[in-house]
């Protein structure tokens, strides 16, 4: 094979030499510089050992030996940094994992869209609110949803760091204190799930898991390992000023990060310590632009959104730029075509990747949310649960046909009983949307709708 030309030099600021999409119009450069200066002095939010451990888990996913569950809000608000909302999202992700582990008989890797999912790409710089044209809400990290808070305030970048830190701190505390203890799945409570059929199905699975655990305990198998789980954090890496300030040149863990090791150092790498995993959104994946430039230099596992506007040739160019050494698990392709388009587009994307040097190297993850957004005649942003379900079902079927492995799912969900997506076993219709619609961005699955999707995946793999 011909040797590849040396990669262009990279540093955490080299993205600034490239064109960029979705860059916010900061009006106060001194305030921005002060905020970025402060962020650069604050400690990392996550540790390289954790980042490398996640990459090792994702290698297992790419090779078909584990499954990736990623979920959380579309736009996390600073206000969600409270015990109740954090716990209910954690519990929902854990309940879904129980269903998946039971159905697939594989380990589940969990990543929250949490502790940093504060920045939103927007299709227009302004939006109409109550008949008035306002600067668009770009997420709590830049401006506020309230009419009087729409100007960009660079101090919010620092606030975002502190809210991420507080959220992550509570996630770590709750997990360390046994919120995830698999011996007690029935204590997790089904919250708002009222549907008797769903409840029975979940309880049956939970008690069969308990029986198995009792047996394992009796024979003293792997003590300790079953009491807790890992939960990693993620967000869209949209604001490169923020991501750059948290990117640090740090010692590379000597092992695969699963344990501290006294072995000699293997050198240093750049880690984006704002989260374990960050992804490039559908609007910012231009190969010669700033986001791809930034992402190509960090050691974290990363995601790329792939949709109807991704040419097949771009896909391989992106993989070769972002993962030239074909490191398995480094890249997650997050596919989001829409139920009507997935059948036509996914097979050609799978073939391009699986027929190349990236075979069994990427994690294929289905995001059945972002290709299925619609507006009701009265202008409410929603999604039909039926479309979401169909895109996931189609994606599972296509991967099976192509001989590839659907390794994960990426969902917008909340532990609260929201009424934002139409349908599901409760049969929510347009009139129900106003009952409890609280999203400031895209519509999320409620607990019941999210569990239904977990059952779909579990049933598919249990067959």
Residues that bind Mn ion (CB under 5 A): 74, 442
> How near is the Cβ of 139 to ligand PEP at its closest, in Å?
10
> How near is the Cβ of 118 to Mn ion at its closest, in Å?
13
Cα 263 from Cα 266, distance rounded (Å):
9
Residues 87, 179: contact at Cβ < 8 Å? yes
Indicate the angle between helix axes 196-218 and 447-462, nearest 10 degrees. Answer: 60
DSSP one-letter string for 319-387: HHHH-TT--TTSEEEEE---TTTHHHHHHHHHHHHHTTTTTTTSEEEE--STTSEEE-TT--EEEBHHH
Query: Given the rule CB under 6 A, which residues bind ligand PEP?
Result: 74, 121, 236, 281-283, 305, 336, 370, 442
Strand, coil or helix: what is 268? strand
Cβ closest to ligand PEP, residue 121 vs residue 347: 121
Cβ closest to Mn ion, residue 205 vs residue 450: 450
DSSP one-letter string for 51-80: HHHHHHHHHHHHTTSEEEEEEE-SS--GGG
Residue 77 interface partner, choices ligand PEP, Mn ion, none, CB cut-off 5-8 Å depending on type: none
With CA atoms as reference, report the closest residue to 322 among 300, 347, 306.
Answer: 300
Burial class (CB in 10 A: 0-12, 13-18, 19+), 282: buried
Residue 336 interface partner, choices Mn ion, ligand PEP, none, CB cut-off 5-8 Å depending on type: ligand PEP
> How near is the Cβ of 283 to ligand PEP at its closest, in Å?
6
Cα 67 from Cα 109, distance rounded (Å):
6
Burial class (CB in 10 A: 0-12, 13-18, 19+), 201: middle
Cβ closest to ligand PEP, residue 38 vs residue 314: 314
> How near is the Cβ of 336 to Mn ion at its closest, in Å?
10
Cβ closest to Mn ion, residue 153 vs residue 442: 442
| Residues forming a β-bridge with 302 | 278, 331
> How near is the Cβ of 199 to ligand PEP at its closest, in Å?
30
> How near is the Cβ of 113 to ligand PEP at its closest, in Å?
8
Residue 423 interface partner, choices Mn ion, ligand PEP, none, CB cut-off 5-8 Å depending on type: none
Residue 138 interface partner, choices Mn ion, ligand PEP, none, CB cut-off 5-8 Å depending on type: none
Cβ closest to ligand PEP, residue 253 vs residue 338: 338
Residue 156 interface partner, choices Mn ion, ligand PEP, none, CB cut-off 5-8 Å depending on type: none
Rounded to the nearest angstrom, the gap between the alpha carbon of residue 409 and the centroid of all alpha carbons in its chain is 9
Burial class (CB in 10 A: 0-12, 13-18, 19+), 325: exposed
Cβ closest to ligand PEP, residue 269 vs residue 272: 272
> How near is the Cβ of 238 to ligand PEP at its closest, in Å?
9
Cβ closest to Mn ion, residue 85 vs residue 281: 281
Cα 264 from Cα 283, distance rounded (Å):
41
């Amino acid at each position: 094979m011909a040797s590849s030309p040396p990669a262009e030099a990279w540093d955490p600021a080299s993205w600034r030499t490239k064109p960029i999409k979705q860059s916010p119009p900061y009006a106060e450069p001194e305030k921005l510089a002060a905020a970025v200066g402060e962020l650069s002095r604050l400690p990392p939010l996550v540790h390289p050992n954790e980042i490398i451990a996640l990459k090792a888990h994702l290698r297992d996913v790419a090779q078909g030996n584990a499954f990736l569950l990623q979920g959380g809000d579309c736009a996390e608000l600073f206000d969600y940094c409270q015990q109740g909302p954090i716990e209910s999202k954690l519990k929902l992700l854990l309940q879904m994992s129980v269903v998946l582990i039971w159905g697939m008989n594989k380990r589940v890797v969990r990543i929250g869209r949490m502790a940093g999912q504060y920045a939103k790409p927007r299709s227009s710089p302004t939006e109409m609110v109550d008949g008035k044209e306002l600067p668009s809400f770009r997420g709590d990290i830049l401006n506020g949803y309230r009419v009087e808070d729409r100007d960009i305030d660079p101090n919010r970048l620092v606030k975002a760091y502190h809210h991420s830190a507080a959220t992550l701190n509570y996630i770590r505390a709750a997990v360390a204190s046994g919120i995830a203890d698999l011996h007690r799945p029935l204590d997790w409570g089904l919250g708002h799930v009222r549907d008797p059929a769903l409840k029975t199905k979940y309880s049956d699975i939970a008690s069969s898991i308990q029986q198995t655990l009792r047996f394992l305990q009796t024979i003293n198998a792997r003590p300790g390992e079953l009491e807790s789980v890992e939960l990693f954090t993620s967000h869209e890496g949209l604001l490169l000023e923020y991501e750059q300030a948290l990117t640090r040149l740090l010692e590379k863990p000597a092992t695969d990060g699963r344990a501290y090791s006294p072995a000699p150092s293997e050198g240093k790498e750049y880690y984006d310590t704002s989260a374990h995993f960050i992804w490039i959104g559908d609007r910012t994946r231009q190969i010669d632009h700033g986001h791809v430039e930034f992402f190509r230099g960090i050691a974290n596992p990363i995601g790329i959104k792939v949709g109807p506007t991704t040419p097949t040739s771009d896909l391989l160019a992106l993989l070769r730029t972002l993962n030239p050494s074909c490191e398995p698990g480094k890249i997650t392709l997050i596919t989001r075509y829409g139920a009507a388009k997935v059948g036509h587009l996914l097979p050609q994307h799978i073939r391009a990747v699986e027929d190349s040097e990236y075979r069994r190297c990427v994690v294929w993850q289905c995001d059945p949310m972002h290709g299925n957004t619609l507006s009701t005649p009265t202008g409410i942003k929603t999604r039909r649960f039926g479309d979401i379900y169909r895109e996931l079902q189609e994606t599972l079927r296509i991967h099976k046909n192509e001989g590839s492995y659907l390794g994960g799912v990426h969902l917008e969900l909340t532990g609260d009983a929201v009424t934002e997506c139409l349908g599901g076993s409760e049969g929510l219709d347009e009139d129900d949307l106003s009952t409890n619609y609280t999203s400031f961005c895209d519509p999320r699955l409620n607990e019941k709708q999210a569990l239904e999707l977990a059952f779909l995946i579990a049933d598919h793999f249990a067959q």
